[in-house]
Structure 1
Amino acid sequence: MEERKTYFVDVILPVPINNAFTYRVPFEMNDFMKTGIRVVVPFGRSKLQTGIIVKVHEVVPEGYQSKYVEAVLDEFPIITGKQFKLWNWISEYYMAPLGDVMNAALPSNFKLGSETKVLIHPEYEGNSEILTDREYQVVEALEVQSELDLKEISDILGIKTIQPVIKALIEKRVIITQEDLKQKYAPKTQLFVELAKEYQSDEQLKALIDVLSEDKRKKKQLDAILTYMQMGGFKQGISKPILRSELVEKGASASSFNTLDKDGILKIKRMEISRLMERDEADSAFKELSPDQQRALDEIRESFVEKDVTLLHGVTGSGKTEVYVELIQEQLDKGKQVLFLLPEIALTTQLIQRLQKYFGDKIGVYHSRFNQNERVEIWNSLLHNDTTKFQIVLGARSAVFLPFRNLGLIIVDEEHESSFKQYDPSPRYNGRDTAIVLRAFHGAKVLLGSATPAMETYFNAEEGKYGLVKLDKRFGDIQMPEIFTANIKKEKMQKTMQSDFSGFLVEHMKKALENKEQIILFQNRRGYNPVWACEVCGWNPNCKNCDVSLTYHKNSNILKCHYCSYFTPPVGACPKCQSNRLKMIGFGTEKIEDELSIILPGVRVQRLDLDTTRQKNSYENILNDFDARKIDILVGTQMVTKGLDFDNVSLVGILDADMMLNRPDFRAFERSYQLMSQVAGRSGRKTKRGTVVIQTYDPDHWIIQHVINHDYMGFYKNELIERKNYFYPPFYKMINLTLKHRDPNKLEVMAMDLADRMKQAFGSRVLGPEFPVVKRIQNSYLKVIRLKVERDASNKKVKLLLQQKIDDFYSVSYNKSVRVIVDVDPS
């Protein structure tokens, strides 16, 4: 009898640890072990975790008895070798545990642990025929108890390893994980009207219309049917569902539809619609490119011959999307996949709609807001290289983790956006920079697009590392908006201010409204008032968990912390001196919305900020209303600067430029220039030149002057000198270390210890430790140590040395209670 081999597997688990764990393979599983497949393994005393095999070998671990693999979840690998290379790169470059990278990369349905809670899927209709006995037992238990964790299910079934059963139930859409439900799984549905089957022929429909025409009492019902037909509800013998709300908008009576539904003539049904928009059939008729766009396209092609990465520097409204579309089509013709990265999916609805008109169902949208089943479907489609769908993936930064097999092109739109950087939790990676590394594994090309490129990106283009293509003119030769400043200091002296609005801006708003044009107002602060203060003693209400002032929200009548969400009712008198002379200082989007109703009565105003877009699809609904001209003035935070393209916007107001310029951050001027230029670009994009009004105390500030003159190069050259003088990117690389502890005195000692250790290795390149602007968040005090290293220094050596110093620091028992957060290339 042939002797069976004893195999071991190295498994990575979704826990914040850098090492792989070695497990022994039971003999009966020997034939199923492959790298890239998921296995269930014991972790800790009684927990089971889902991990991924990264190595199969016969080396017996030394010094400890390895535990056994409990179960195999996959027949084929769910990650590719290229993905694992990318995970390793992210782990090394961003100094993040490999387990954290795995956690970020995989959809949660791929990570079933003991504590995963499951519930009945909202769409499950009770079909028990598709279930095995064990699966039926789980469903039966969930009908009695609304949610169960895997340990409870294990007890019910009387078996230890139940992940395969759970995996099968998820795939059959019978159960759903709680994490999925937290993401507000409920599908977006609306009421649609459709012609009943009995009337779906020209003869029957004509006969019905004749009958209704003869009865005067049925006039409203006749109008309802005619409206339905006019909107394309029944064409060439095919019935199409039409949104009831759209039919009512066209003048049809809602009650008539209810009557027609009862009579069996029309059917009203609630249907799920796409989370972003209805998917149209692809419109193969591409727009003809302008001479400038064609030149840019040709230059990009030429650039790609020698360069792997090219920057398309095109002013707002220059028609970058049409250039993208041509490049995407070229890749599809070659049978290649395309990754289109956007800073935030929710904020780029219009761009997605435009691309779907060209490419229809070839586009898959991958984003953490979408339900897990949808994300897993895209994952599996790419993994198996299914060319019938999802050849183009639109996604936020997490889309770089997908298992591409044949990637030809990566487009990073609005590449300057800070949203491409993950802040919390680890891994703190940058989606744009990771995409450039991903490119290398596939031999693909990367196109970075922006009207206001990041300093590092433009520097790389000037140095010849990236190709550079410019689109300097707006599409259709529309002029760039005319930008004016309103001097707040001067207007306050002349008493022409109306609350927080300058007379100059109010005048322009009235003029735009008279011409039936729309307005966007930008204020990068939500809430009503940022600060309350006592006029007698200067007291102001602070968060009990963080060292920040509470912001007043008038709609909910609360004082709220924007860091930890702590809130409290407003006070009537100062708790320090009992004075009731409390004044409100500053203004947020809520206050602007409130005051506009007084200054411009009857005007339809809507806010677009985090408070008004918390619900799913609320962002899209507000934009659709603005596009349909149901809103006259859109007031918003930086959400209004991204991806918006409206024909009727003639005026943009930037209400507080100084707040952006005065932030204590080396990127403050860069961010200010980008935000002001981007929001200015929303004005006058189709038929006429737009106007922008910037309210400021300092109209002569050099950043504002460059914004007025649409002078990116002037801004870039000035800022580059500052960066060089003070050792900032792109000349130096930065790593920030943030230390967190509840005891400020202990934190001070530990921060000094770590800084001293780092100074032994890096000398004067180490700055700090110092308190950040907000020194306490959620009851933890913070200290920051900054490391600046020359651009040409070896990344690998620097990080190995830094990690060694952190490990030495943690080897002292006193330091073990502090948390050290490493942020490479902070943005």
Structure 2
Amino acid sequence: MIHHPQRFVDVILPLPLPGKFTYSVPEEMNGELQPGVRVIVQFGKKKFYSALIHRIHNEEPSGYEIKSIETVLDKQPVVHPELFEFWEWIASYYHCSLGEVMKAALPSGLKLESETRVIFNPEFEEDKNDLSSRERLILTFLRIRKISSVSDLNRADEKGNAYSVIKSLLSRGAISVEESLRSGYKPRTETFVRLAEAYSGESRLTELVDDLSRAPKQQELLMRFLEYTRFGNEEAIPEYSKKRLLEKVGTTTATLNTLIKKGVFELAERRVDRLSQYAGNIREGFELSQAQEQAYAEIEQNLEEKQVTLLHGVTSSGKTEIYIRLIKKYIQENKQVLYLLPEIALTTQIVQRLKQVFGDKAGIYHSRFNDAERVEIWNKVLNFDPESDENQYQVIIGARSSVFLPYRFPGLIIVDEEHENSYKQFDPAPRYHARDAAIVLSHLTGARVLLGTATPAIESYFNALSGKYGLVELSERFKQIELPKILTADLRDAYKRKQMRGHFTPLLFEEIEKALEANEQVILFQNRRGFAPFIECKTCGWVPKCKHCDVSLTYHKHNNSLVCHYCGYTIHHPTNCQACGSNEINTKGFGTEKIEDEVSLIFPEARIARMDLDTTRARKSFEKIIHDYDSGKIDILIGTQMVTKGLDFQNVSVVGILNADNLLNYPDFRAYERSYQLMAQVSGRAGRKYRQGKVIIQTSEPDHHIIQQVIQNDYLGMYKGQLAERKHFKYPPYYRLIGLVLKHRDKREVERIANQLASMLKRSFRSRVLGPEDPVINRIQNWYIKQFWLKIEREISIVSAKKKLQEILDEVKTQPGNSGVQINIDVDPM
């Protein structure tokens, strides 16, 4: 008998712990293992996790007892081993553990843990599936319990280890994991009509048509079905959508049911792509204009010479059509393409256009999809084979998490609206920026990156002008549509003269009136949701605050409640002041809900809709608002910054920015840059094919240099002014920024630990340390917060700076009495 040397594996566990962990390999599993495969391991006394094999070796660790692998979950890797290099860069650069990267990268369905809750699917048909005795046992246990943890299922399993059974039941759709329950997702199914087997022959079919001559409605339905499935197609298709058949024929369900009873038709339920509504008729891209053709040629040339190219194109310049042309080129080269969007829910129209061009070659990936769906897309990307004829996703349209998908042949990454801060992950770790991660991914894989926007991030434009990125400018709107005429309305003056109607200056009011009379549409932008930011007692100045966070409660009129937008704490609107008893309580400031209220009173005939977080919580609500507005069912759309992103409407003639001062006066070194971007983007929504649009900016400072730069479409002026300030005050792109956030349940403790940390940081980093200071909101969910900023010169090694920083943090955490503190590190904070 040949004795093989003992083998070991280093695995990544989905935990915020540094390093990898070593387990021994039982001899019977030797042939099954390869890097990227998931295994179940015990960690601690009772916990089990699915871990990823990172490395297989013969080096036995010393100093502790080695546990062995419990189960192997995969025959093939679920992660390409090359992807680990990308994960390791994310962990190193954004200062987190590989386990945290794994947790962010893998869909939940690929991360079974002992405390994961498993849910029984009542629609699963057990009799139609060939189940093993262990599968039946677990399913019976779940049918009674409805929901159970994996550890409970392990106890119920006859072998005491149910992971492989759970994996099998998950793939059959018999169960789902906890995340699916939260998303409220059900697979979308559609009913299809097909001809019964008895009528497959031509002679039987001819007889049937003759027999139905006395029932003309039934005969017509049959003839139209045959037209759609056989005669109108180059090759016969076996079935047709019931809904579309009834709509096209214009008949009732009763007629169809009669034919089903006669045994002519049968019905079949099919699971369909949830985004098949976008597929429509596949169309070619539009012809490019001369300016677009030139930009496309420049982009091609730049992408050959540089890894990254920035396309700076004014709003409505037709950037999407250029992207489509580029994607086609890379598809023909059998490469995969990633099209990154800041927020999938906010980019319905772009998704629709891409699905129209690329059909089933385009897949969509983001957090609103349920778990099984995300695993399915993961596997499709993982197993992409350019030689295969099977339906495969070659273009992925996704939000920031799609950078982690296991691309095998990546060719192009498009980062649309690259300036958006939605690309930055804030919590939990890794606090990565998808744009920057995509650029690193391209360096590791040889793919090319195209950044596109009308208002580039200052860092991106700096890199383009310094030659690090290629730069292509597109300064002409598609079909020569004129840039909108931008006017300012002086709020201070209008209030002083008592000319305001609600929150509308005479100029904005007049322009809305004109647009409505001409059957044109209006967008009103106010970057605050709710009815009013707070309420205040007129007698003593009392303002209701959240009991968990250091923030005033926002008034929401629709349910007469005060809500904290940070933790969700809610109370009813008080009738009396809780400090002095007065009943004179007034609302202060205004949000989108209050504007909606005012507009409905001032313009009673107008059809109004509001688009903010409150009105778009439901899955399809955003799409419905966009569809209704696009088809002219809405006259005035009121919204937060949601209305600035990627929307393209033909009939908008007026855009009103209700209070630009709120944007400009935010305490952040990026406030002016963001204000310019938001105002320029929302202004870009105005303008029709044959008529110039108008934008009214309401402000108390009409001569403010940022507002003047928006009016003149002077991005370069804004860029140069901000760059000079950033150089003077030591901010990016001249310095790297690292943010530190300390949290503790006790206010005095967080202050004590922050002072302790400050003295240690200043000893090593000297004047590069800012803080400790209170953030704008210094208590959230009963955690008291202190923050620091580290400004590191570009020429200093960021790796050694972070290493020193970690040593200091480790020392602080191990000091007596400091165990209750949480310290988060945010590299390149937004």
What interval of TM-score do these two structures reach, taking the shorter chain for normalisation?
over 0.9
- Which residue of the partner structure matches residue 126 of structure 1? 126
Shift of 1:83: 1.1
- Which residue of the partner structure matches residue 563 of structure 2? 560
- 1:51 paired with 2:36, answer no
Deviation digits for residues 728-772 of structure 1 (CA, Å, limit 9, x no counterpart) = 111111001000001111111100111111111110000000100
Q: Any idea what SS the aligned residue of 2:412 has? A: strand
Alignment of 1:450-529 (within 5 A): 450-529=453-532
- Which residue of the partner structure matches residue 217 of structure 1? none
Shift of 1:193: 9.6
Counterpart contact for 2:192–2:270, Cα < 8 Å: no
List alignment gaps of at least 5 residues for structure 2: none
Residues 113/39 of structure 1: CA separation in 2 closer, same or farther (3 Å cut): same
Farther-moved stretch of structure 1 (258-267 vs 667-676): 258-267
Alignment of 1:234-633 (within 5 A): 236=232, 240-241=240-241, 257-261=252-256, 263-264=258-259, 274-280=273-279, 283=282, 285-387=284-386, 388=390, 389-633=392-636
Distance in 1 between residues matched to 2:278 and 2:694, nearest whole Å: 35
Shift of 1:4: 2.6
- Which residue of the partner structure matches residue 103 of structure 1? 103
- Which residue of the partner structure matches residue 646 of structure 1? 649
Residues 272/635 of structure 1: CA separation in 2 closer, same or farther (3 Å cut): farther
Deviation digits for residues 14-69 of structure 1 (CA, Å, limit 9, x no counterpart) = 01111111112122222222221111000111111110111212222221111111
- Which residue of the partner structure matches residue 2 of structure 1? 2
Distance in 2 between residues matched to 1:604 and 1:171, nearest whole Å: 47
- Which residue of the partner structure matches residue 689 of structure 2? 686
Residues 273/530 of structure 1: CA separation in 2 closer, same or farther (3 Å cut): farther
Residues 277/385 of structure 1: CA separation in 2 closer, same or farther (3 Å cut): closer
Shift of 1:602: 2.3
Residues 719/59 of structure 1: CA separation in 2 closer, same or farther (3 Å cut): same
- Which residue of the partner structure matches residue 803 of structure 1? 806
Distance in 1 between residues matched to 2:578 and 2:270, nearest whole Å: 54
Shift of 1:160: 2.6
Residues 261/88 of structure 1: CA separation in 2 closer, same or farther (3 Å cut): same
Residues 243/453 of structure 1: CA separation in 2 closer, same or farther (3 Å cut): farther
- Which residue of the partner structure matches residue 218 of structure 1? none
Counterpart contact for 1:528–1:552, Cα < 8 Å: yes
Specify which of 767, 772, 780 is matched with residue 764 of structure 1: 767
- Which residue of the partner structure matches residue 89 of structure 2? 89
Specify which of 637, 640, 656 is matched with residue 640 of structure 2: 637
Distance in 1 between residues matched to 2:4 and 2:266, nearest whole Å: 65
Deviation digits for residues 343-386 of structure 1 (CA, Å, limit 9, x no counterpart) = 11111111111111111111111111112222222222222223
Shift of 1:500: 1.2
Deviation digits for residues 508-556 of structure 1 (CA, Å, limit 9, x no counterpart) = 1111111111111111111111110011111000000000000011112
Q: Tell me the matched-pair count.
A: 811
- Which residue of the partner structure matches residue 828 of structure 2? 825
Deviation digits for residues 798-821 of structure 1 (CA, Å, limit 9, x no counterpart) = 111111111121221322210001
Counterpart contact for 2:153–2:162, Cα < 8 Å: yes
- Which residue of the partner structure matches residue 142 of structure 1? 142
Distance in 2 between residues matched to 1:489 and 1:640, nearest whole Å: 26
Distance in 1 between residues matched to 2:370 and 2:192, nearest whole Å: 27
* 1:607 partner amino acid: R
List alignment gaps of at least 5 residues for structure 1: 214-220
Specify which of 788, 792, 795 is matched with residue 795 of structure 2: 792
Shift of 1:795: 1.6
Distance in 2 between residues matched to 1:343 and 1:5, nearest whole Å: 50
Residues 685/36 of structure 1: CA separation in 2 closer, same or farther (3 Å cut): farther
Counterpart contact for 2:114–2:151, Cα < 8 Å: yes
- Which residue of the partner structure matches residue 166 of structure 2? 166
Farther-moved stretch of structure 1 (6-15 vs 541-550): 6-15
Deviation digits for residues 224-252 of structure 1 (CA, Å, limit 9, x no counterpart) = 989x99x999983888547589969x9x7
Residues 203/464 of structure 1: CA separation in 2 closer, same or farther (3 Å cut): farther
Distance in 2 between residues matched to 1:727 and 1:621, nearest whole Å: 45
| TM score, norm. by length of structure 2 | 0.93
Shift of 1:274: 4.3
Q: Any idea what SS the aligned residue of 2:656 has? A: strand
Residues 260/91 of structure 1: CA separation in 2 closer, same or farther (3 Å cut): same
* 1:24 partner amino acid: S
Farther-moved stretch of structure 1 (56-65 vs 591-600): 56-65
Deviation digits for residues 263-285 of structure 1 (CA, Å, limit 9, x no counterpart) = 45999999866444524266353
Alignment of 1:9-48 (within 5 A): 9-48=9-48
Shift of 1:792: 2.3
Counterpart contact for 2:108–2:371, Cα < 8 Å: yes
Farther-moved stretch of structure 1 (634-643 vs 276-285): 276-285
Counterpart contact for 1:196–1:264, Cα < 8 Å: no
Q: Any idea what SS the aligned residue of 2:819 has? A: helix
Distance in 2 between residues matched to 1:170 and 1:92, nearest whole Å: 34
Distance in 1 between residues matched to 2:169 and 2:744, nearest whole Å: 43
Residues 245/281 of structure 1: CA separation in 2 closer, same or farther (3 Å cut): closer
Shift of 1:128: 5.0
Distance in 1 between residues matched to 2:671 and 2:716, nearest whole Å: 17
Counterpart contact for 1:234–1:240, Cα < 8 Å: no
Q: Any idea what SS the aligned residue of 2:559 has? A: coil
Distance in 1 between residues matched to 2:412 and 2:661, nearest whole Å: 40
* 2:310 partner amino acid: L
Shift of 1:593: 1.1
Q: Any idea what SS the aligned residue of 1:9 has? A: strand
- Which residue of the partner structure matches residue 737 of structure 1? 740
Q: Any idea what SS the aligned residue of 2:692 has? A: coil
Counterpart contact for 1:739–1:782, Cα < 8 Å: yes
Shift of 1:491: 1.2
Residues 205/775 of structure 1: CA separation in 2 closer, same or farther (3 Å cut): farther
Alignment of 1:653-692 (within 5 A): 653-692=656-695
Distance in 1 between residues matched to 2:13 and 2:669, nearest whole Å: 37
Deviation digits for residues 573-631 of structure 1 (CA, Å, limit 9, x no counterpart) = 10101111111111111111111110000211111111111111111111111112111
Counterpart contact for 2:384–2:393, Cα < 8 Å: no
* 1:544 partner amino acid: K
- 1:696 paired with 2:699, answer yes
Residues 640/47 of structure 1: CA separation in 2 closer, same or farther (3 Å cut): same
| TM score, norm. by length of structure 1 | 0.93
* 2:156 partner amino acid: I
* 1:661 partner amino acid: L
Q: Any idea what SS the aligned residue of 1:127 has? A: helix
- Which residue of the partner structure matches residue 216 of structure 1? none
Distance in 2 between residues matched to 1:636 and 1:269, nearest whole Å: 42
Shift of 1:179: 1.4
Q: Percent identity?
A: 49
* 1:36 partner amino acid: G
Counterpart contact for 1:128–1:136, Cα < 8 Å: no
